[in-house]
Amino acid sequence: MSINNPKHIKMSDELLDACRQHLANVNEELITKAFEFCLEAHKNDLRASGEPYFTHPYEVALIVAKELPLDDVTVVSALLHDVVEDTEFNLEILSKEFGKEVAEIVDGVTKISGIFKGQEITQAENYRKLLLSMVKDVRVILVKFADRLHNMRTLQFVNPDKQRRIAQETLEIYAPFANRFGLGRVKWELEDLSFKYLNKEAYEEIARKIKSKRRERESYIKKFTVPIIDKLDEYKLKYEINGRPKHLYSIYRKMVTRNKPFEEIYDLFAIRIILDSENNNDCYTTLGIVNQMYLPVPDRFKDYVSIPKTNNYQSIHTTVVGPEGRLVEVQIRTKKMHEVAEKGVAAHWRYKENKTASEKDMENWVNWIRDIFENASKDEARKDILESFKLNLYQDEIYVFTPKGDLRRLPVGSTPVDFAFEIHSKVGYHCIGAKVNGKIVPLDTKLHSGDQVEIITSKNQHPNKNWIKFVATHKSKNAIKKWINKEEEDVVNSGKEIWEKKIKKLKLSFTTSDIAKLSTNLKYESPRNFFKSIAQNKINLDEVLTATKEKEKKEKSAVLEFGNFAEIARDDIGGVLVDGKKSGILYSYAKCCNPIPGDPVIGYITVGEGIKIHRKTCNNLLKISEKEVSKLVPVQWPESAGSLFVAGLRVMGEDSPGILTEISHAIVSYQNTNIKSININTNDSMFEGSVTLYVQNLDHLSSIIDRLKKLKGVYTVERFESA
């Protein structure tokens, strides 16, 4: 049979052109033969629209060729996908005319049609059939997606009840599976088309609002992109830059989940920069350019280039503050990344083989997935395949079954212990062994999709720490940790009791914060570990608490000494000047940084406490003043020709006869410096002392410090800073 009708000739030519443009190898003779066979097989059938039925498989084949381009066998299978189900031709004829491969794909599409039913998809057996029919040949599901896409695009021709049923099925089943395959564009279109028939009113309202804001948004996007374009050109990068399409169902879903009006959800502008480059580093260069132009929002950055999503999606996502303070989402990706994001598994295959995949390579690739799902072999080579082949359809989750056939979803890498906790926490806690597909296996065995798992329990069995090393789910890890922590609780409580008795005896008091600091100082990861060590007698508590008590005494003494000195020094100089004068304004000194004469200071207006005087280097002041610069006021210490202020020094070193005299002489012999007070304490051939003296400025004080440091036996000389 040959094509005589001009319309049919034109259609055939259009399909072949699409194949030549998008596929690496094209068997034109086979495609033409399939087109003619399709035309003949469906010649007496009509669609709901009144068109000849063969236009449907033809359009499905066009979608496969243009939008999901994998190979010519998939196009041929798309043309023939309804032949077995709707005509008198059987699989045997297809196998004879077009080869076993095409016949198997058509068979898979036919079988899968009966499984994709919303109300049945929850049944484990249907899931099992669905998975196995999909993984025999990935092209089965690609044809099925194209079939559903065309049905959704022409859904207006069927009755309203059928429209809603098909739309609901598409939204619940097809769209999520399309996403799993990395078919971003297909997923969005299926969702939007389903939304159109399930909630027409909301669909049309959002569409109308988007249309009304179109000009305003285009104008803003243009304004936003101009400086980026200039810089990209400067770097000689080749690129496409455009506003990212907004998907109606996505907007609607956000409106519902966030309970916000359209205006708040849609206010976020979005652009996409697609680089004509094979160098992924150009994505980061472009990110640098965008961040150079506009301020990035730190918690809105995602790098899927370095770490792709499980469906192989790669892109950089960032949000920046654009003109007029509006937030703009920016996606940056290469052409290759964009095609993989839009066309998923098919595009990745083409890039993976550099568009020169042989039929043998294709066969091997299809078999990989089938083997992974159908065999639970622990062969190392198979593990390597799993590692390297990121396109495994369910790479991030597996489907396993209970002995009764109930389905459980688990992450890849899950073990029987994960499965046990998924059933119930009590089953997990008492899990002692497991059977996978009827055979007893170790508890750390990795499960595979399709495995049937039976858990063996014992009341005497409890989780142990080793399980943490191999379990994969958060649920398992948390439950095991909880159990282990519970066992430790008695030990910890015992340690706490000993601790409470000891501190009561020594008349010490500790806050939660004090205990945390002490345990950290003693190199414990947490207070719990500290209390465990006490209970296990691994720590000399008397020694620790005695040292703590002595330290506390010293610290109290130091605080008092500095506090007295600070008060004397401030009074001595006459306080601070606000705006250059003594104005009688209420002020006090901040305890966080304890400013003393000689420190550069600044005032901060508080509510109810007047002005707080801080050191200019105070961390607290830097934090609170970032957003309230207007509350800062200039203050300074009084200064006049020949005026002096009191400064304080701590001096430590080796005790020796006459050390007090040497210290005093070193001070007074420099510019007749006056000493206000000096106090030296000795202990075990060491001395520690404090000196208060009158100095003209910080340079004067620095010179005194240098002179004291040169004295024999003096180890440390430092200015009083704070407690």
pLDDT score at 699 = 85
Q: What's the pLDDT band for 268 if we cut at 50, 70, 90?
A: low
Closest CA to 251 of 230, 270, 238: 270
What mean pLDDT is predicted for residues 696-711? 88
Q: What are phi and psi of 547, to 5 degrees?
A: -60, -40
Q: What would you report as the CA-atom Rg of the chain, rounded to the nearest whole angstrom?
A: 39
Token pair 């036996």 is found at 713
In angstroms, rounded to a whole number, what is the distance separating the alpha carbons of residues 445 and 683? 66
Measure CA 466 to chain center.
28
Most confident of 28-37, 44-53, 236-245: 28-37
User: Distances from the Cα of 427 to the Cαs of 194, 431, 433, 484, in angstroms?
Assistant: 41, 6, 11, 16
In a 10 Å sphere around its CB, with 0-12 CB exposed, 13-18 middle and 19+ buried, how is residue 160 labelled?
exposed
Q: Which residue has the higher pLDDT, 112 or 648?
A: 648
CATH H-level, domain 6-197: superfamily: Hypothetical protein af1432 (1.10.3210.10)
Kindly report the average pLDDT of the chain as a whole number: 80
Q: What is the pLDDT of residues 55-95, one digit of tens each?
A: 999 999 999 998 888 788 999 999 998 888 777 888 888 88
Give the tokens for residue 343.
């066309």
Residue 607 scores a pLDDT above 60: yes
Q: What's the pLDDT band for 521 if we cut at 50, 70, 90?
A: confident
Closest CA to 588 of 563, 612, 562, 614: 612
In angstroms, rounded to a whole number, what is the distance separating the alpha carbons of residues 226 and 63? 35
Q: How far apart are the first and last CA of the chain?
A: 100
pLDDT score at 552 = 60
Closest CA to 327 of 266, 401, 388: 266
Answer whether 570's CB lies under 8 Å from 597's CB.
Answer: yes
Measure CA 593 to chain center.
38
At residue 437, the 3 state secondary structure works out as coil
Answer whether 72's CB lies under 8 Å from 32's CB.
Answer: no
pLDDT score at 660 = 85
DSSP 304-365: TTTS--TT----EEEEEE-GGG-EEEEEEEEHHHHHHHHHTHHHHHHHHTTT---HHHHHHH
CATH 1.10.630.10 applies to domain 645-719:
no
Residue 524 scores a pLDDT above 90: no
pLDDT score at 194 = 95
Q: What's the pLDDT band for 684 if we cut at 50, 70, 90?
A: low
Residue 621 scores a pLDDT above 90: no
pLDDT score at 549 = 66
What mean pLDDT is predicted for residues 621-641? 80
pLDDT score at 76 = 94
What mean pLDDT is predicted for residues 589-609? 86
Q: What's the pLDDT band for 721 if we cut at 50, 70, 90?
A: low
In angstroms, rounded to a whole number, what is the distance separating the alpha carbons of residues 43 and 344? 34
Question: Which positions are catalytic?
Answer: 85-86
% of the chain beyond a pLDDT of 90: 23
% of the chain beyond a pLDDT of 70: 84
Answer whether 333's CB lies under 8 Å from 55's CB.
Answer: no
Q: What's the pLDDT band for 658 if we cut at 50, 70, 90?
A: confident
pTM beyond 0.85: no
Answer whether 657's CB lies under 8 Å from 687's CB.
Answer: no
pLDDT score at 133 = 47
pLDDT score at 295 = 92
Residue 117 scores a pLDDT above 70: no
Answer whether 78's CB lies under 8 Å from 59's CB.
Answer: no
pLDDT score at 57 = 93
Overall fold of domain 208-349: Beta Polymerase; domain 2 (3.30.460)
Closest CA to 32 of 69, 68, 72: 72
In angstroms, rounded to a whole number, what is the distance separating the alpha carbons of residues 680 and 652? 9
pLDDT score at 657 = 82
Kindly report which listed range (122-131, 272-281, 401-410) carries the lowest average pLDDT score: 122-131
DSSP 660-702: HHHHHHHHHTTTTPPEEEEEEEEETTEEEEEEEEEESSHHHHH
Give the tokens for residue 644.
């002096």
Q: What's the pLDDT band for 229 if we cut at 50, 70, 90?
A: very high
What mean pLDDT is predicted for residues 359-370? 43
pLDDT score at 377 = 33
In angstroms, rounded to a whole number, what is the distance separating the alpha carbons of residues 270 and 38? 43
Residue 626 scores a pLDDT above 90: no
Residue 127 scores a pLDDT above 60: no
Q: What's the pLDDT band for 108 if we cut at 50, 70, 90?
A: confident
Q: What's the pLDDT band for 512 if we cut at 50, 70, 90?
A: confident
For the chain, the domains span: 6-197, 208-349, 483-539, 575-636, 645-719
Q: What are phi and psi of 393, to 5 degrees?
A: -50, -45
Residue 376 scores a pLDDT above 60: no
| Count of C-beta atoms within a 10 Å radius of residue 466 | 11
In angstroms, rounded to a whole number, what is the distance separating the alpha carbons of residues 239 and 227? 14
pLDDT score at 373 = 37
What mean pLDDT is predicted for residues 227-245? 89
